[in-house]
Amino acid sequence: MSPRLEKSIAALSSADSKDVQEAILLIGEVAVFSRKGIRSDVVPEANEERLGEGELQALERALINFVERNPFGPDAGSAIWCLSKFCNRDMIQIYRGWLQRYVDHLKPSGFALGQLLVSLSNLGEHTITGGSFSANEVGKNFDDAVAYLNRLKEHPTELK
pLDDT at 80 over 60: yes
* Burial category of 1 from C-beta neighbours within 10 Å (exposed 0-12, middle 13-18, buried 19 and up): middle
Give the Å distances, CA to CA, from 120 to 17, 22, 114, 159: 26, 24, 10, 11
Residues 80 and 4 both lie in one domain: yes
Condensed to tens digits (0 to 9), the pLDDT of residues 37-77 reads 999 999 999 999 989 999 999 999 999 999 999 999 999 99
- 80 and 156 together in one domain: no
> Which DSSP category does 156 fall into?
T
**Structural domain tally of the chain?**
2
23 shares its domain with 46 = yes
Query: 15 and 66: one domain?
Result: yes
Query: 71 and 8: one domain?
Result: yes
Whether residue 98 contacts residue 113, with contact meaning beta carbons closer than 8 Å, is answered with no
Q: Can you tell me the mean pLDDT for 21-44?
A: 94
Q: Report the chain's mean pLDDT, rounded to a whole number.
A: 92
Q: Do 139 and 73 reside in the same domain of the chain?
A: no
Q: What does R_g of the chain's alpha carbons equal in angstroms? A: 16
**Residue span of the structural domain in which 124 resides:** 88-160
Same domain? 112 vs 68:
no
pLDDT for 102-117, tens place per residue? 999 866 678 899 999 9
**Who contacts 57 (Cβ-Cβ below 8 Å, separation ≥6)?**
none
